[in-house]
Amino acid sequence: MTRLTDLIQGQSSHESANPDAKNHALSMRPVGLSHPIPTRSQSGTENDWYQRAGHVIQGIKQVVQTRQPWVIDDVVSLAAGIVTSLRTNDQLLERVFQRDVGDFLVTNAVNVAIVSVKIGEALKYEPEKLEQIALAGLLHDLGMFVLPDSLLYKASALTEEEVRIMREHPQHGSRLVEEVGASYSWVGRVILQEHERMDGSGYPGRLTGDHIDEMALIIGLADVFDALMNSRPYRRGRSPHQAIRTLLVSGKPVFPHHLLKALVEQLSIYPLGTTVRLNTGETGVVSQLNRQYPLRPILRLLQSGHAPVSKTVDLRAETSLHIVEVVPIG
């Protein structure tokens, strides 16, 4: 059986390949950035909010790369906005599954924060703790911005020395967070442990079990889930459904059972964005979950050419219909 670490630690040697390869990112706004932190009232829709948040993250990336001082205040506001939005609806979560083409360092930061908050919700985290996990999720790969673009966007497999350099990014990120003050030292600890795994196969400290902070494990799980869904030069990205199945089969040695269970509870057996085929032969995309009946979500039907149509079907109400299979990507 393929181990999850074999699938994901390919990130160390491959996923840094190019903008379609890995999804690492970070978020905060540097002084002078022209894009203010978006609020739901400013943006009007979660799609606008997501896109403008990406501009914020892109700005902090530039600041870190040019070794300029940075501030964390706007990232704190961004984290609060994620929690507020997700407590209202799941539109931001649906954006995670749309596989935007762009800087993978940017989209991964927002995606990991969103999925981490959903896992935290399943664990009954209080709003304040959800904002903390959103903040740490946005910053989880802050140290990647210290590394040269020639390494981050390399189109071929990394050498052993390049892998070693890449794996130093948690220490870089933790150090960068220390610069904003002692009150955020906990973020630095989470960043340092986000790539640690329960069985000791992670890095940089090869920590095991209870020695790893739960928040770091949640963010690590969200990061792996997002990585599995996105294409690499050496493999196609999986559908949300396939990504969850991979985690359930191969993720047990490296992530606690209760976190895997929380991920499934929040994303369902058929996560938002999954394309499925019905017993009638029709295909549709999961547009809304039925928490009480996870096998019977609400679908947006597709035409034969995979173009969306206006019709939606609630499988909980349409009892004669049921899902027979997940339609693979590509």
Compute the residue count for the chain.
Answer: 330
- pLDDT number for residue 305: 54
Domain ranges of the chain: 4-267, 275-326
Tens-digit pLDDT profile for residues 191-237:
999 999 999 999 999 999 999 999 999 999 999 999 888 765 556 77
271-314 per-position pLDDT tens digit: 888 889 999 999 999 988 887 777 789 999 987 655 556 689 99
Full strand arrangement of the beta sheet holding 308-314: 308-314, 298-302, 283-288, 275-278, 323-326
Second-level CATH architecture of 4-267: Orthogonal Bundle (1.10)
Q: What is the pLDDT of residue 141?
A: 94
| ∠ CA 158-160-161, rounded to 5° | 95
Helix (H, G, I), strand (E, B) or coil at 208: strand
Q: Is the pLDDT of residue 176 over 90?
A: yes
To which H or E segment does residue 76 belong? helix 73-88
User: Which one, of 162, 118, 172, 165, lies nearest residue 140 by Cα?
Assistant: 172
Whether the CB-CB separation of 110 and 22 falls below 8 Å is answered with no
Tell me what pLDDT residue 93 has: 84
pTM, two decimals, is 0.77
Residues 6+ apart with CB under 8 A from 276: 270, 283, 284, 285, 286, 299, 323, 324, 325, 326, 327
CA dihedral for 325, 264, 252, 328, sign (positive or negative): positive
